[in-house]
Amino acid sequence: MRFVDEYRREADAQRLVQAIERLVTRPWTIMEVCGGQTHNLIKFGIDRLLPPSVTLVHGPGCPVCVTSLELIDKAIFIAQQPGVIFTSFGDMLRVPGSSSDLLSARARGADVRMVYSPLDALALAQKYPDREVVFFAVGFETTAPGNAMAVWQARQLGLRNFSILCAHVLVPPAMRAILASSDNRVQSFLAAGHVCTVMGTREYEPIAEQYRVPIVATGFEPLDLLQGLYMALRALEEGRWDVEIQYTRSVTRDGNVAAQQLMHQVFEVCDRQWRGIGLIPASGYRLRSSWAEFDAEQRFDLSTVSAQESSICIAGQILQGLKKPPQCPAFGTQCTPEHPLGAPMVSSEGACAAYYQYSQHA
Amino acid sequence: MISLQCPIPISEYPVVTLAHGGGGRLSQMLIERMFVAAFANPALATLHDGAILELNGARLAFSTDSFTVSPLFFPGGDIGSLAVHGTVNDLAMCGARPLALSAGFILEEGLPMEDLWRIVLSMQRAAAEVGVPIVTGDTKVVERGKGDGLFINTSGLGIIPPGVHIAPQRATPGDVILINGAIAEHGIAVMSRREGLAFETELVSDSAPLAGLVARLLEVGGDHVHVLRDPTRGGVASVLNEIAAQAHVGMHLDEERIPVADAVRGACEILGLDPLYVANEGKCIAIVAPEAADHVLEAMRAHPQGAQATRIGEVVGEHPGKVFMRSRIGGICVVDMLSGEQLPRIC
């Protein structure tokens, strides 16, 4: 199949693995930022093909995992209000809130629907004018343009029954938070290819410079990942810290300017609580006040919602690359995909679920 | 001795969720802890696609299946043909030749009579194709809004030829794992129709009766055919995990050898689904002793239901209960069971 098979050829993968083996002279620790990258590294067994001196740590780039408990609880609360159709991407439905998840809310009678795009939620709002349709706007810069477009179109269409629960998070502030931490081990990043497709790579240049870490905007197929790792390791070995693009078929230095303009029109940067990590200043998007009529947090009274996190789960340390899933005392015992304590065990992009599903456990 | 306490901890699942019907680990938990525990008996305990009952020296296979599919009509079939194929295939997976079927209908008030007639005709055609009569049935009507158009239950009775012993526990290290064609077609076809996802190529369900294929394969392989299983809900990955656990054996798969049509692969890539976990309705996994594997594979390929049959892996003695796969690029990963249904990814 075109555009897939050519990025999964075994001979090419072996060549890259050998090139990496020849290149590496000492131990290095690299973080892949995006959960989609984590998933494929484990699914294709790439982590086991690399020389032992290369350590991969899994980054915070799984939107399902980092969405704060409080927002999940708010989502469940809104979904349970009479007359509401609550819409979400599929993998948010099983994320545990303080005491429930959206699928369980549905089993108890809430009208929770899985959609593939925020525009599907918009179509529901048109179809059911007497219902309140709310879309759970989660994700990084990748999903932000689509969500901005949904709100923009809702205004064009004059819809009065559509809103979004905005949970957007941004990658660069999270990378800064990791690098600024006193326990940081990360020496280089594979930046998330699709985030960079939207945003370009300029905003990573000051990070590379300030912390002297090479950053490679990398794709998701096995050969993309191996090539991104090769480029990062070469920069480390040569003592360089620049921003490079591996995923050239999608990423440019400037990114998608039209998408950025729309996002800027609809969203503004805000402080954001990250699940397991805490508050990161200027690390999220919220709707601008001129778009407040589409903000679910304004339309619903959420003052009674309060969140309580599991005390055993070490999701925060995992999402910052300080620990690996099997180092968690609950991994595979108290915490499984059937009974997740933390969000990384839920999504297929979550590091714990990827380890549980594709590597040896128990 | 059955405890009066509900075996599914209330704190975990106070109500049934869709994941309990998804064919993954939660379905398995519900079946084993609740149904098998309560109804405990030797025929049920084998946890095969059907029960095997002995009667005056003859061995009968008895199986039942309920069908709830939305939409009722999908590319490549409808709920009627699916209901016949499903139970015929469950009997075939016991090594049995189907003798007779029952059909139970739960109809929702308001279902167009025309749709019901199309479905009944489709069942008639599917049963005639296999040569199995539908000999008894039942009809109930529920109020509008209390059923999804209609639900169908079919049960079936079949006879197992002498010398045939199919059981998941017979999977033995060294055995070869065969499949009769490309995977994931039913699940993706139904999903694309249900969710209104349009792809350039129309994706068609593989729904088909497997009794003929299985009869042929047993003629050629006889007692060397150890396990048969149709990878419906939960897909190939879930079924192989179940067999590995029941037989206390490991399995090795080779991703490169698992056939997936390009259109299906494309749809799976777009939606972030793994075809190994997507439902099939016309596929059969055969676990066969190595000395008979080539003959059985040839016989499968010569049959219309098995033109694309291929060897996808083998049973091993190491890591009992686990399924490993060599990925396309040569890495090794574990193919585990999912807890519920696969959910499409965000980005």
B52-160 and B168-334 in the same fold = no
- The per-residue pLDDT for A33 is 94
B15, B319, B328 member nearest A8 (Cβ): B328
- The per-residue pLDDT for B307 is 95
CB B172 within 8 A of CB B139: no
Packing angle of the helix pair B211-221, B79-92 (nearest 10 deg): 20
Rounded to whole angstroms, how far apart are CA atoms A168 and A151?
Answer: 14
Query: If you ran DSSP here, which 8-state letter would residue B292 be given?
Result: H
Query: If you ran DSSP here, which 8-state letter would residue B161 be given?
Result: P
pLDDT averaged over 10-residue windows placed end to end, chain A, 362 residues = 85 96 97 92 91 92 86 96 95 85 91 93 97 96 96 97 97 95 93 97 98 97 97 98 97 97 98 87 97 97 84 83 88 83 78 79 45
Residues of chain A found within 8 Å of residue B195, distances taken between Cβ atoms: 116
Which range of residues forms the domain containing residue A237?
Answer: 5-62+171-245
Q: Token pair of A279, please?
A: 């508050």
Which 87-146 residues of chain A touch chain B by CB within 8 A?
Answer: 89-94, 103-104, 106-108, 114, 116, 138-140, 142-143
Tokens 């965000």: give the residue. B346
Gap from A244 CA to chain B (nearest CA, Å) = 23
The verdict on ipTM greater than 0.85 is: no
Instruction: Flag whether A291 is in a domain.
Output: no
Which residues, 6+ apart, have CB-to-CB distance to B278 below 8 Å?
Answer: B183, B184, B186, B187, B188, B235, B264, B268, B342
Instruction: Flag whether A49 is in a domain.
Output: yes
Rounded to whole angstroms, how far apart are CA atoms B235 and A35?
Answer: 24
CATH 3.30.230.70 fits B168-334, yes or no: no
| Number of CB pairs, chain A paired with chain B, less than 8 A apart | 124
Note whether B343 contacts A114, CB cutoff 8 Å: yes
Nearest to A214 by CA among A226, A228, A200, A224: A228
Coil, helix or strand for B346? coil
Alpha-carbon separation of residue A142 from A199, A266, A321, B343 (angstroms): 8, 15, 22, 19
- The per-residue pLDDT for B10 is 43
Which residues, 6+ apart, have CB-to-CB distance to B27 below 8 Å?
Answer: B19, B20, B21, B233, B234, B340
A64, A108, A336 member nearest B346 (Cβ): A64
**How many C-beta atoms lie closer than 10 Å to residue B56's C-beta?**
4
Per DSSP (E only), the strands in chain A are: 28-34, 54-61, 84-88, 111-114, 132-137, 162-166, 188-192, 215-218, 243-245, 267-274, 278-287
Per-residue model confidence as pLDDT tens digits over A11-46: 999 999 999 999 999 999 999 999 889 989 988 999
Q: Token pair of B259, please?
A: 């056939």
Q: CB-based contact (8 Å) between A45 and chain B?
A: yes
Report how many domains make up chain A.
1
CB hemisphere CA count around B243 (13 angstroms): 33
Note whether B329 contacts A45, CB cutoff 8 Å: yes
Which 325-354 residues of chain A touch chain B by CB within 8 A?
Answer: 336-339, 347-349
User: What contacts 24+ positions apart, CB below 8 Å, involve A200-205?
Assistant: A200/A251, A200/A252, A200/A253, A200/A254, A200/A255, A200/A256, A201/A243, A201/A245, A201/A251, A201/A252, A201/A253, A201/A255, A202/A253, A202/A254, A202/A255, A203/A172, A204/A172, A204/A175, A204/A243, A205/A243
pTM of the model: 0.85
φ/ψ of B317, rounded to 5, equals -85, -20
The continuous run of DSSP H or E covering B58 comes out as: strand B58-67
- The per-residue pLDDT for B7 is 56
Mutate to test the interface with B, among A43, A115, A141 (most CBs of B within 10 A): A43
- The per-residue pLDDT for A120 is 93
Residues of chain B found within 8 Å of residue A339, distances taken between Cβ atoms: 12
Residues in chain B: 347
CB B99 within 8 A of CB B160: no
- The per-residue pLDDT for A362 is 41
CATH class of B52-160: alpha beta
- The per-residue pLDDT for A37 is 93
Rounded to whole angstroms, how far apart are CA atoms A289 and A268?
Answer: 9
Instruction: Flag whether A200 is in a domain.
Output: yes
Q: Which residues of chain B have a pLDDT value below 50?
A: 1-3, 10-11
Rounded to whole angstroms, how far apart are CA atoms A26 and B182?
Answer: 45
Residues of chain B found within 8 Å of residue A336, distances taken between Cβ atoms: 339
**Domain boundaries of chain B, sorted by first residue:** 1-39, 52-160, 168-334
Give the CATH number, domain containing residue A185: 3.40.50.11750
- The per-residue pLDDT for B27 is 86
Note whether B17 contacts A42, CB cutoff 8 Å: no
B16, B343, B347 member nearest A142 (Cβ): B347
Rounded to whole angstroms, how far apart are CA atoms A189 and A176?
Answer: 11
- The per-residue pLDDT for B6 is 57
A4, A10, A138 member nearest B330 (Cβ): A10
Mutate to test the interface with B, among A1, A7, A76, A194 (most CBs of B within 10 A): A1
- The per-residue pLDDT for A5 is 85
